[in-house]
Amino acid sequence: MKSISFGKISIGLWIATVVILGYFFYFGSTSRSLDDRTAIHLTPAERQLVLTEMRALLTSVNGMLNGLAEKDYERAAKAADAVGMGLVASLEHQEKTILLKLPVEFKKLGFGTHEKFDEIAVKIRKKQDIHGLLKEMDELTRNCVACHASYKIELEENKK
């Protein structure tokens, strides 16, 4: 019998680790829910963080619409800025463990939504045509609708 070298075992374990991490990075900690959406399994604290972030997005959309309705462009732009990529950067430490649990399409949708808030803030500050801004906000809220139609957040089951 040939003996397998320590190096080959190490490389094999390294490859297995990369494959497993890649799997979780792409698919996350998910299952199919009863309503045929993708259920994302998070701890109670992680779930609360994601739901709080989603409520902040909705609050910002409302602030943007209110600011635009009152012709207060700076207030509308600040509402958009509040949940742009700056928010993502501020939550980076808290979200590191969550990111492995989220499927890649959810991450793309989420990051794209935050980037869209930043893009709209710039356009609001330039006082672009209100119809163009409403079209941008329509595209933005389609991300919200797509996310809620495709995903739900569930608590991880305690494995004992």
How many domains does the structure of the chain reveal? 1
CA distance 118 to 91: 16
- pLDDT at residue 159, as a whole number: 46
pTM for the whole thing? 0.80
With bands split at pLDDT 50, 70 and 90, how would you rate the model's confidence at 158? low
User: Model confidence over 74-107: pLDDT tens digits?
Assistant: 999 999 999 999 998 888 777 777 888 899 999 9
More confident residue, 28 or 121: 121
- Compute the average pLDDT of residues 56-72: 97
Type of residue found at 67:
G
With bands split at pLDDT 50, 70 and 90, how would you rate the model's confidence at 160? very low
Looking at the domain assignment, is residue 37 inside a domain?
Answer: yes
User: Model confidence over 103-156: pLDDT tens digits?
Assistant: 999 999 999 999 999 999 999 999 999 999 999 999 999 999 999 999 999 998
What b/e readout covers 23-59, taking b as 16+ CB neighbours within 10 angstroms? eeeeebbbeeeeeebbbbbbeeebbebbeebbeebee
DSSP state of 102: S
Picking from 146, 144, 122, 147, the residue whose alpha carbon sits closest to that of residue 133 is 122
Looking at the domain assignment, is residue 102 inside a domain?
Answer: yes
More confident residue, 157 or 25: 157
Q: How many CB atoms lie within 10 A of CB 63?
A: 19
Looking at the domain assignment, is residue 160 inside a domain?
Answer: no
Structural domain boundaries enclosing 83: 6-155
